[in-house]
Amino acid sequence: MSSQDLKEKIKLKAQQLGFILSGVTTPDPPDHYSTFEAWLAQGHHGTMDYLARDRSRARRADPREILPECQSILVLATPYSPPRSPEEPAEDVALRGQVAAYAWGDDYHGVLPARMKELVQFIEEQVGHSVKNRWYTDSGPILERDLAQRAGIGWIGKNTCLIHPKHGSYFLLSEIFLDLVLEPDPPFRTDHCGTCTRCIEACPTDCILPNRTLDATRCSSYLTIELKDDIPSALREKIGDWVFGCDICQMVCPWNRFAEEGDPSFGDKNPLHSLPEELTLSTQEFNQRFKRSPIKRAKRRGYLRNVAVALGNKGDRIALPVLQNVSSDEEPMLREHAQWAIARINERIEATQKGEKGFHEP
């Protein structure tokens, strides 16, 4: 079997497993590694210190540091559904928060590895011998989007997402390092963003930088997921009602008009109840409800911190009693953010009352 025939068989099997896009590249150093180093030097990674460790950087600089025998890297993309409007009546969703679309279903870290393992088994059956391999899905020290662009899957957009001209950007990336020679696919070299700046203009925290990187310390996804400390006061209002992640820069991207329904594992249900109800979750209840969800990454303290901020931004006095309860929680970070939310709501109530009074005065 020729290398090209083998690659086509692998891609067909990948598609059957739910990977709608696939491409092959070499394990050569990534083209944009210098951009990554500059990003680290500017401190745009925030508290994600694991990105700056020497071992991690060496592996990102050269994929062969991960698997010295690697001869090909198979890059895969799995779709998830775009954000959807709530199906409940408006009064039932008034105090719901927003969750990034990829987190509406099961955690992809628990789903995609089994599919990659099955794909590797298929490859070994085709070649008739075992193949040294490593696989990752947003879990290894590699520059995923760089490899994906080089494998022909799409281009890196101004919002830093990998974008495919027919599928948009709502997909999850995975990679399989193989001790196997496969014909590389041509890189995706065309930049289809053009002069469009919708993502930059729509970002509420102004985190999108001119060189197609993000200042993570200002990104709502970082603030609601990766950051384990207090959310900076100046950014809390800008987060709005996002309690886990953010999709705004993808929602406004014109290329996502082509996005279709995704893999049912990653978006079959809204994972949230009303925000006041979320704020009453104990540690045990949080762990039980989100044990298969990406939301568990935020842990209870981070998640309830986000919920408190969202309630403060919604400004509805109905949330005051539950926020008062949390303002005496044993966790200092929760107390601080609940108190901030209470102050925000009271400010809005006071402003409304003043407005009403002024309106009725002759």
Q: CA geometry: angle at 284 spanning 291 and 114, to 5°?
A: 15
Question: Any idea what the Cα angle at residue 48 is, between residues 43 and 50, rounded to 5°?
Answer: 110
> Which of left, alpha, beta for 245 (phi over 0: left; psi -120 to 50: alpha)?
left
Pairing label, strands 171-178, 242-244:
unpaired
CA dihedral 143, 148, 150, 154 (to 10 degrees): -130
Q: Measure the CA–CA gap between 275 and 17, rounded to whole angstroms.
A: 36
Distance CA 350, CA 360 (A): 16
The DSSP element (H or E) to which 146 belongs, if any, is: helix 144-150
Q: Which residues have C-beta within 8 Å of that of residue 25, sequence separation ≥ 6?
A: 72, 73, 75, 147, 150, 151, 152, 184, 185, 187
H/E element, 200: helix 198-202
Contacts of 253 (CB under 8 A, 6+ apart): 157, 159, 161, 163, 168, 169, 198, 199
Known catalytic residue at 206: no
Amino acid at 227: L
Identity of the amino acid at 129: H
- Tracing tokens 């101004």 back to the chain, one arrives at 158
Tokens of 342: 């209470």
Q: What is the end-to-end Cα distance of the chain in Å, rounded?
A: 89
User: What is the distance of C-alpha 56 from the center of its chain?
Assistant: 20
Q: Which uninterrupted H or E stretch holds 11?
A: helix 3-16
Catalytic-role residue among 138, 179, 241, 316: 138
Catalytic residues: 138
